Amino acid sequence: MATVNGAPASLDALQTLALTNYGHFTTMRVADGAVRGLSLHLDRLVADCRDVFGTELDPARVLDCVRQEIGARTTPVTVRVTVFDPALDLAHPGAGADPAILVTTRAAGEAVPPPLRAKRFTLAREAAAVKHVGLFNQLRLRRAAQLAGFDDALFVEPDGRIAEGGTWNIGFVAADGTVVWPEAEVLPGVTMRLLQAAHRPTVIAPVPVADLPSMRAAFATNAAIGVRTVCAIDEVTYPTDDPVLEELRQTYARLPGEPL
Q: Which residues of the chain have pLDDT under 50?
A: none
Of 89, 107, 125, the domain-final residue: 107
**125 plus 36 within the same structural domain:** no
Of 107, 126, 159, the domain-final residue: 107
Whether 193 maps to a domain, the answer reads yes
**96 plus 120 within the same structural domain:** no
Q: How far is CA 184 from CA 60, 129, 221, 250, in A?
A: 32, 10, 16, 26
Number of CB atoms found within 10 A of residue 145's CB: 21
Whether 33 maps to a domain, the answer reads yes
Residue 130 contacts residue 22 (beta carbons within 8 Å): no
**58 plus 10 within the same structural domain:** yes
Q: What pLDDT shows up at residue 71?
A: 85
**167 plus 217 within the same structural domain:** yes
Whether 260 maps to a domain, the answer reads no
pTM of the predicted model, to two decimals? 0.95
Q: Which domain holds residue 195?
A: 116-254
**124 plus 43 within the same structural domain:** no
**126 plus 97 within the same structural domain:** no
Q: What pLDDT shows up at residue 73?
A: 82
Q: What pLDDT shows up at residue 109?
A: 72
Whether 89 maps to a domain, the answer reads yes
**Which one-letter DSSP state was computed for residue 75?**
S
**122 plus 241 within the same structural domain:** yes
Q: What pLDDT shows up at residue 110?
A: 67
Residue 20's CATH number:
3.30.470.10
Peptide bond into 93 cis (omega under 30): no
**72 plus 17 within the same structural domain:** yes
Of 47, 74, 107, the domain-final residue: 107
Residue 212's CATH number:
3.20.10.10
**SS (HEC) of 31-54:** ECCEECCHHHHHHHHHHHHHHHHC
